[in-house]
Chain A
Amino acid sequence: MLAGGLGLGGCATKGFVREQIAVVNQRVDALDARLQQTDSTAKSALAEAQAASGQAQNNGQRLDQLNARVDGIEQRLQTQEKQRKRPRN
């Protein structure tokens, strides 16, 4: 009786398990697809971040160069201002 009960219970469990496995497989596949998408997005974001970092470095260097030029121009203007004549009032 017990063995029969167990046998019947075993058959029901296989079908149930297959169904459950199929559901889980679907979910795993979906998760796998999302993971791949997320991975792709992350890689893309990393590439963009690296590009932005490089651009920022370039911009920083350019700013430094421009600052140097502005300083030079300011110094030249100051020199010219000192050299500028004063009218004899």
Chain B
Amino acid sequence: MIHILLALAGLALPVSVPARTAERALPSGAAQSQPGMTEAEGLSPSADAARVADWVAASGDNHALPYIIIDKKAASLFLFDAEGQPLGAVPVLIGVAVGDDATPGIGSKNLAEIGPAEKTTPAGRFLAKYGLAAGRQKVLWVDYATSVALHPIPPGASKKERRRQRMLSPTPDDNRITFGCINVPLVFYTKSVRPLFQKKGGYVYVLPDTKPIEVVFPRLRVQALVNGGVPDPGPASSTP
């Protein structure tokens, strides 16, 4: 009975979750006023996500390709078309470890060889493309070098990990469970992500956990200057 209820809940995921996860949104008034990002399906972007969306839309950093912004802190994904129009927002599962870098050589390790602290989803700007993975499965490689891909919850995932339940839960705190890959709801993946990305790929912007956002996306500083503001000096520039 529980399985049936979970299955039904999973089918309704793309519709019901954004509404429930609206509570996750950071109290950002600026986010609502950004031209590059509006509230998509009830899931509000954080201030950082809105800032990155604004920058990408204004600068054309996506080079006329569709793009995705992943807010790790909010465990949320925002999808945009090539023109910068928001197409949807869903909760995601990300790497269990907090951190913005990938351990050197992690891309050649087996899953069993990856230590707990290495299971990070690296932050940054990635040109994602579809490609073949082991088992002849086709995945959207976000960062091939570190074996980070974006895909639905894998069928072989351990039931003990309760990935489905974690994705359905209203809090982002339990959405850190993967080895570093980004898991998205199946319906969203097949109906929204794959049709957009399967031909030419697109960009994936992964917001940082701990690093300052302008360290991960340096061109945000330029954008801030263009907008007439003062860029955040960040920790790097504060040192002599």
Contact = CB atoms under 8 A, between A and B. Distances in A.
A86 B133 CA distance: 6
Interface in A56-89: 81, 84-89
Interface in B156-201: 156-157, 178-181, 183
A87 B114 CA distance: 12
Q: Is the interface of A mostly helix, strand, loop or mixed?
A: loop
Given A89-B154, A89-B157, A84 B180 contact: no
A84 B139 CA distance: 12
Contacts of B156: 89
B134 A85 contact: yes
Contacts of B154: 89
Contact of B95 (A81, A84, A86, A88): A88
B111 interface: yes
Nearest to B158: A89
Contacts of B178: 88-89
Nearest to B144: A85
B114 A88 contact: yes
Contacts of A88: 95, 106, 111, 114, 119, 146-149, 178-181
Nearest to B106: A88
A85 B133 contact: yes
Q: How large is the interface on B (under 10, 10 to 19, 20 to 34, 35 or more residues)?
A: 20 to 34
B239 interface: no
Interface string B80-113: 0000000000000001000000000011101100
Contacts of B3: none
Contacts of B139: 87
A83 to B, nearest CB: 9
Nearest to A77: B136
A85 B107 contact: yes
A86 B110 contact: yes
Interface string B59-93: 00000000000000000000000000000000000
A85 B131 CA distance: 10
B119 A87 contact: no
B2 interface: no
Given A88-B111, A88-B146, 8 more contacts: A87-B139, A87-B149, A88-B95, A88-B114, A88-B148, A88-B178, A88-B179, A89-B156
4 closest pairs, A vs B, by CB? A87-B149, A88-B180, A88-B179, A86-B134
Interface of A: 81, 84-89
29 contacts: A84-B132, A84-B133, A84-B134, A84-B135, A84-B136, A85-B107, A85-B108, A86-B133, A86-B134, A86-B135, A86-B147, A87-B133, A87-B141, A87-B148, A87-B181, A88-B106, A88-B111, A88-B114, A88-B119, A88-B146, A88-B147, A88-B148, A88-B149, A88-B179, A88-B181, A89-B111, A89-B157, A89-B178, A89-B183
